[in-house]
Structure 1
Amino acid sequence: MNRLWLPLLLVGLLGGCVSQYSISENQIESFLDGRLGQDIHKDKILRSADIRVNQVEVRLGHKPDTMAVKATSVLELKALFVPLRASLTAEFEAKPWYDSERHAVYLRDLELLQVESSPKELGRALQSISPQLMLFLRTYLESEPVYVLDVKESQQALMAEMTRRIRVQPGKLVLEFK
């Protein structure tokens, strides 16, 4: 009986004219929030700083075939006399693409658009750490997936096998099937 479920599910999906599946900005943000928060703690950038990415914002389709990622990090610098606390926000743009073997969305042609610090007065103090943080974020976003289909969940597993490419639309990534 279990062997009948997959063909029935496939016929039901295809019979219902499902020809695409989309991933929302919120889904990508949730995925990145969880991954970046864990990975940045594993890879200490500077021994004198504690860095946490505490907010990721994703914007899809504001430009053709483009995804914008804005990451806000909280930095605690361990200075000699007074510890400093600040936030650093970096905004990137890139082209998303789908890896059909890994069932994941990656970014290429990553471009740093702007970096802001808060409070503004700490901008000079943060200049020493921001190149390392930007390098970490850039390397992470270019080499790690920004979203992975969950092949343990039956609907996403089916979508993962059928997807060959993605298309960026305002507010979502559309997975296109073969």
Structure 2
Amino acid sequence: MKMLKITLCALSLLLTGCVSQYSITESELEGYLSDEMHFEINQGNQIFGIELKVNDIDVTLGAKPNTMSVMASTLVKVRNPMLPISADLTAEFEAEPWYDASNQSVYLRNLNLVKVESKPKDIEKAIGSIAPQLMGFLTQFLETQPVYVLDTKESNQALIAEMTKRIEVKPGKLVLVFDE
């Protein structure tokens, strides 16, 4: 019965032209990340501590084969009575996106930090000692949270989620592949 339902739905999608290719664009990924992913760290006390908040995420797909580039703009504040620091960090990561059919989600793996820049520039030496820890937090977050989830409450996406087996990275989009 389930196979018949999938076949009928696939046939109806074929007739409407939707099944030939379904893709997720860079702007859809950025919108999802902006709406759904809230990354914020606040550790320490009033005198010593660190605050980290991702403000903006930009996505580039397919600039390199099978690669998604994620640029995260992050506000960093280090509370320290001797040398308080406030800076904007921009970190660029490259990763391989993959599709988990069990929860209809796209995840990242093999995350690689490409570069980190700060504003103001002269603050780079001061944050150099804490940058690896900060980037570690962000890396772990990006590797464990989905970067996109198909909306199974919407009928077309529910069917697409059921049919999708893997994804391919193309310039500007993730293509959902329905066959094995």
| TM-score of the aligned structures, taking structure 1 as reference length | 0.86
Q: How many residues align?
A: 171
Note the 1:117-136 alignment, pairs <5 A.
Answer: 117-136=118-137
Counterpart in 2 of 1:51? 52
Counterpart in 1 of 2:15? 15
- 1: distance between equivalents of 2:79 and 2:42? 13
- Closer, same or farther: CA 63–122 of 1 in aligned 2, 3 Å: same
- 2: distance between equivalents of 1:131 and 1:121? 18
Structure 2: where are the runs of 5+ without partners?
1-5
Alignment-mate amino acid for residue 72 of structure 1: S
Counterpart in 2 of 1:169? 170
Please give the per-residue CA displacement for 1:62-95, whole angstroms capped at 9, x wherever unaligned: 1111111111101122231674321111111111
| TM-score of the aligned structures, taking structure 2 as reference length | 0.85
- 2: distance between equivalents of 1:116 and 1:76? 15
- 2: distance between equivalents of 1:124 and 1:177? 49
- 1: distance between equivalents of 2:101 and 2:145? 15
Counterpart in 2 of 1:150? 151
- The answer to whether the 8 Å contact 1:86/1:122 transfers is yes
- 2: distance between equivalents of 1:163 and 1:62? 23
- 1: distance between equivalents of 2:44 and 2:115? 22
Percentage of matched positions with identical amino acids: 49
- 2: distance between equivalents of 1:123 and 1:83? 14
- 2: distance between equivalents of 1:35 and 1:46? 26
Please give the per-residue CA displacement for 1:137-156, whole angstroms capped at 9, x wherever unaligned: 11112121111111111111
Using the TM superposition, give the Cα deviation of residue 16 of structure 1 relative to its aligned residue in structure 2, in angstroms: 2.5
- 2: distance between equivalents of 1:111 and 1:119? 24
Residues 1:28 and 2:29 aligned together: yes
Counterpart in 2 of 1:80? 81
Structure 1: where are the runs of 5+ without partners?
1-5
Using the TM superposition, give the Cα deviation of residue 111 of structure 1 relative to its aligned residue in structure 2, in angstroms: 1.0
- 1: distance between equivalents of 2:66 and 2:78? 38
- 1: distance between equivalents of 2:169 and 2:43? 33
3-state SS of the aligned residue for 1:44?
strand
- 2: distance between equivalents of 1:155 and 1:114? 38
Counterpart in 2 of 1:138? 139
- Closer, same or farther: CA 34–136 of 1 in aligned 2, 3 Å: farther
